[in-house]
Amino acid sequence: MSEKTDALAEAAPATEPAADEASPRAAATKGAKEPGATKAPAKAPTTPTPAPAEEPPPETPKAPADAPAPAPASEAPKPATPAREEPPPPPPQQRLAGTWTYVGGESQRTRLGEAIEAAVQQLNPVIRGIGRKRLTESNKIRESITITVDGDRVTTIFVAGRPVSGTLGGPAFDWTNDEGKTIKVRFTLVKGRLVQDFTDKDGARRNTFTVDASGDKLNLSVTISSDRLDTPMKYALSYRRK
């Protein structure tokens, strides 16, 4: 070795060998406290702080519900309107009132003649001529009939100036016919039909007046009965409201 190398080696301090941790001395000194050194207290284990829970989004305030409309104040009850009284319906006989014109034509005239002849044939041959004349005179077709009604009071006019007036359902009353004979007359109302009865010692005549549903047509049914007739004489005449 050269002189330079020897000089560097001498100048360098001798290095102490590193203590062997495995040696008894190292083990003894490892646990010994160094003078003046304070043992640091053991730190408590740190609990990890939980992450803050995610806050729910702020709730959108709901629009206030419409306040219920106040119930209308109950109206004061109105006074009951009195029911209007309907006028009473007209009496059935009122439909018969008016002037009626014959519309039966020749056909009904012919049937009337046949009815008279059939009745005459029931009479004793001795009085047939007289009987035919009387039946023809008392059963003339009147071209116009007028009926007036005033309550229960009814009047029929077959011949101008010769009215026949009576009370419905009233007692029979006297009336003088075209021949000057006094006979009994009575008026009744049967199922809406006006019935007029003439009675004397020789027989009876019944006039039944009926108005159709339209109120424009009048039917006159005539029945002649007598002790001399086995079968009553019947015929019908038609009239229309004038």
Mean pLDDT of 219-242: 97
Share of the chain above pLDDT 70, in %: 68
Cα 164 from Cα 186, distance rounded (Å)? 10
Nearest by Cα to 200 from 234, 226, 223: 226
* Residue 54: strand, helix, or coil: coil
User: Residue 84 — very low, low, confident or very high, per pLDDT cuts 50/70/90?
Assistant: confident
Cα 96 from Cα 196, distance rounded (Å)? 13
More confident residue, 22 or 224: 224
What the chain holds in terms of domains, given with CATH numbers, is 92-241 (2.40.128.20)
pLDDT at 217: 98
- The whole-angstrom distance between residue 56's C-alpha and the CA centroid of its chain comes to 63
For residue 225, give the H/E element and its range: strand 217-225
Nearest by Cα to 205 from 229, 232, 223, 189: 223
Residues with Cβ within 8 Å of residue 52, at least 6 apart in sequence: none
Cα 137 from Cα 240, distance rounded (Å)? 24
pLDDT at 88: 77
Q: What is the pLDDT of residues 149-205, one digit of tens each?
A: 999 999 999 998 899 999 999 999 999 988 888 999 999 999 999 999 999 998 999
| Tokens linked to 178 | 């075209």
Other beta carbons less than 10 A from residue 133's beta carbon: 11
Which range (67-81, 101-115, 128-142, 181-195) has the least confidence? 67-81
User: Residue 16 — very low, low, confident or very high, per pLDDT cuts 50/70/90?
Assistant: very low
pLDDT at 99: 98
Cα 197 from Cα 189, distance rounded (Å)? 11
| Tokens linked to 19 | 């203590």
Share of the chain above pLDDT 90, in %: 58
